[in-house]
Amino acid sequence: MKHTSKKRKTRFMCMLLLLALLLSGCGGSPSGDGNGDNEGGNTSAEGDYEGYYKTYLTASIATMNFLTDADGTSTELYSRSGLRLYNYVPDGNGGASLEGELAVSDPVCLDGDAGTTWEITLRENAKWQNGDAITADDFIFSMQTALDPEQLYTEGSKAANGLVEIQNAAAYLEQYAPGNSPVSWEDVGIKKTGDYTIQIITEYKTNAEKIKQHFNMPSTMLVHQATYESCWDSSHAVNSYGSSLDKYMSCGEYILTEWVTDSKYVLEKNPDYVHADLIKLPGIVYRVVADNNTALELFLQGELTQVALGSAEIENYLQDPRYMSDPPLQQLNVLINNRNTDNNGILNNLNFRKALFYATDRESIAALRNAIPATYILGTKMIVDESGTTFRSLESSSAYLPENYGYDPEYAKECYDLAMEECGLTSLNLTVIFSESSPNQRPIAEYIQTSWKEIFGDSFTLTLDPKPTTVAYSQRKGWTSNPNSYELAIEGYVPVDNILTDALKFYTTGYPNANEYNNNERVDALYQEAVYGEQALNDNDYLISLVQQMEQILIYEDYITCPVFEIPNAWLLDEHVQLPVTERVPGGGWMTDYAEFVTE
């Protein structure tokens, strides 16, 4: 009996121990150290980070190594804690301009009219977070790392030829591809000419503005050599730089000081930053909030300084003084796989593509998502000059846009009948694929399924095929190996807002990852001229006219794709925040890193 009682006691003690372990957290936070000193009913950490700008990420950061950040989850964090040659800085008058960050001044051309050799002088007082001085060696090491032919960082390609083509940089990066010749680092057009001077040599003539924009890209930011080298694995094959707080070194506007994996990241003002006097915030806190509604609830509770609004929420906050809106960032199109050979190749029939274009009631579809109807490739956010003039606001860019947002059901029916006759079809069943998780793609698919049938008649059927995003993506890109991989697809894209030609590259022949086949020599020639031509480099009006010509050919001659709408970008901002700019800066955003809290 005594033995049984002892056994029971032991069991009871074990249970108590287990309970205590569980309640105490058995293992602590994944990282970081919570103080855990909140008491009695205070369920918010509102009291912490007083005066900090509190924002959120929709997913945990993948890495602070900006060279491998495929999904861009940590862009904001490394952009604010890293240093580049040039960056956007508020001008004090509600605007911002691209100024030297590590660079002292604009690049200086050393070879006159040739415009291929540029010298950049670096600041002598720039420091890493640990106090190490930043010199030209840091820049050279960073570029060498970005272009490492063994590591093959995905962002390396941008560093090599994102906006200017650096001499032999791409060849150096891709030297181990079959058939390529070895390239020595000495042959790459990035040179150290002094402790604080570097030289950039480009393949083609370029200008100072393009050089500045190129070295504003995150892929050209600095990497701390000692930290990077301490992050190699034992076989020197995998480098984990940027995978945790101790494997990253800040040197930008802010210093990364806290990293709670999948939960919270904190940046604090860097007193040694070159424009530190312009930074008003003590820091920025990032929480990971995957769900939009949760983020909105956190904002309404005062735990976030800003929150993005979903399309469904916009109407509720249009009159709210905290409401902010940007030019749309993303455009949605119905892609037409013109290489598809099914249905006697009707998707390659110009009349059929025309029929789809004119049968699309963009205004009604856009109304479903509080969106902006689009009949173009270059969206409303694209700007043409430093003053912020948008491409779409130019009279010459709107002159060729059709009335009624291109909706002409009668003409669409005529084109459809003609196409069916030309292809020898009496009935047609097409399938449209789209991402099942996208809130914007399904409304388009459902609307066109009904409206196109009403216009084209009973001979036409559109089947909806929602898919997981990655599956839809692969199927769309699969046409290169299997021309019949898809028929129609709904897809959104986000072009870079200050590079006019960015959205058009998808429609050049041979572009490796296009969504649909295009082979128009005129477009190719215009694109070459726009990107590499000397006149386009120096004459902005000429560049604009080239872009307009390309857009007209692609949409109103080839009907290569069917634009539908642009998604508005709306958000709420705490009423106590004063932003340094009055309008969103293309390439620089709203510059919330320079924001400040005002009491009144």
345 vs 478, beta carbon nearer another protein: 478
Least distance from another protein to the Cβ atom of residue 215, Å: 17
Least distance from another protein to the Cβ atom of residue 162, Å: 8
Handedness of CA 383, 384, 389, 390 (dihedral sign): negative
Distance of CA 23 to the CA centre of its chain: 42
Length of the chain: 600
359 to 418, contacts with another protein by CB under 8 A? Answer: none
409 to 468, contacts with another protein by CB under 8 A? Answer: 468
Residues 6+ apart with CB under 8 A from 464: 431, 432, 434, 445, 446, 449
12 vs 538, beta carbon nearer another protein: 12
Strand partners, 90: 96
H/E stretch holding 143 reads helix 136-146
Per CB under 8 A, the list member of 14, 16, 17, 19 interacting with another protein is 19
Least distance from another protein to the Cβ atom of residue 503, Å: 11
Q: Is residue 517 within the footprint of another protein (CB under 8 A)?
A: no
Least distance from another protein to the Cβ atom of residue 135, Å: 27
- Give the Cα-Cα-Cα angle 85, 75, 228 (nearest 5 degrees): 65
Stretch that binds another protein, among 119-127, 369-377, 380-388, 474-482 (CB under 8 A): 474-482
Per CB under 8 A, the list member of 10, 105, 294, 582 interacting with another protein is 294
Residue given tokens 């409304």 in the structure block: 443
Q: Is residue 157 within the footprint of another protein (CB under 8 A)?
A: yes
DSSP string, 39-92: -TT----TTSSTT-EEEEESS----S-TTS-TT-TTHHHHHHHS--SEEEEE-S
Least distance from another protein to the Cβ atom of residue 153, Å: 9
For residue 155, give the DSSP letter: T
Residues 6+ apart with CB under 8 A from 122: 85, 102, 103, 104, 134, 135, 136, 139, 196, 197, 198
154 vs 393, beta carbon nearer another protein: 154
| Angle, helix 521-532 to helix 540-556, in steps of 10 degrees | 160
Stretch that binds another protein, among 261-269, 270-278, 391-399, 442-450 (CB under 8 A): 261-269
Supply 6's token pair: 């002892």
224 to 243, contacts with another protein by CB under 8 A? Answer: 238-243
20 to 49, contacts with another protein by CB under 8 A? Answer: 22-32, 34-36, 38, 41, 43-45, 48
165 to 204, contacts with another protein by CB under 8 A? Answer: 170, 173-174, 176-178, 180
219 vs 548, beta carbon nearer another protein: 219
Supply 341's token pair: 């050979």
314 to 343, contacts with another protein by CB under 8 A? Answer: none
Stretch that binds another protein, among 156-164, 272-280, 330-338, 542-550 (CB under 8 A): 156-164
Per CB under 8 A, the list member of 16, 59, 133, 276 interacting with another protein is 59
Stretch that binds another protein, among 62-70, 85-93, 344-352, 529-537 (CB under 8 A): 62-70
63 vs 121, beta carbon nearer another protein: 63
Size of the site for another protein (CB under 8 A): 77
102 vs 488, beta carbon nearer another protein: 488
Per CB under 8 A, the list member of 13, 17, 18, 598 interacting with another protein is 18
Per CB under 8 A, the list member of 205, 212, 214, 287 interacting with another protein is 287
Least distance from another protein to the Cβ atom of residue 119, Å: 28
Q: How far apart are CA 15 and CA 221, in angstroms?
A: 54
Q: How many CB atoms lie within 10 A of CB 473?
A: 16
CB-CB contact of 53 with 257 (8 Å): no
256 vs 346, beta carbon nearer another protein: 256
Least distance from another protein to the Cβ atom of residue 312, Å: 16
Q: How far apart are CA 575 and CA 93, in angstroms?
A: 20
Q: Are strands 372-373 and 428-435 parallel, antiparallel or unpaired?
A: unpaired
Least distance from another protein to the Cβ atom of residue 43, Å: 5
Q: Is residue 260 within the footprint of another protein (CB under 8 A)?
A: yes
360 vs 440, beta carbon nearer another protein: 440
Q: Is residue 290 within the footprint of another protein (CB under 8 A)?
A: yes
CB-CB contact of 381 with 327 (8 Å): yes
For residue 539, give the DSSP letter: -
Burial of 106 (0-12, 13-18, 19+ CB in 10 A): middle
Residues 6+ apart with CB under 8 A from 225: 137, 138, 141
Stretch that binds another protein, among 268-276, 299-307, 413-421, 562-570 (CB under 8 A): 299-307
63 to 92, contacts with another protein by CB under 8 A? Answer: 63, 65, 68-71
CB-CB contact of 558 with 520 (8 Å): yes
64 vs 544, beta carbon nearer another protein: 64
76 vs 99, beta carbon nearer another protein: 76
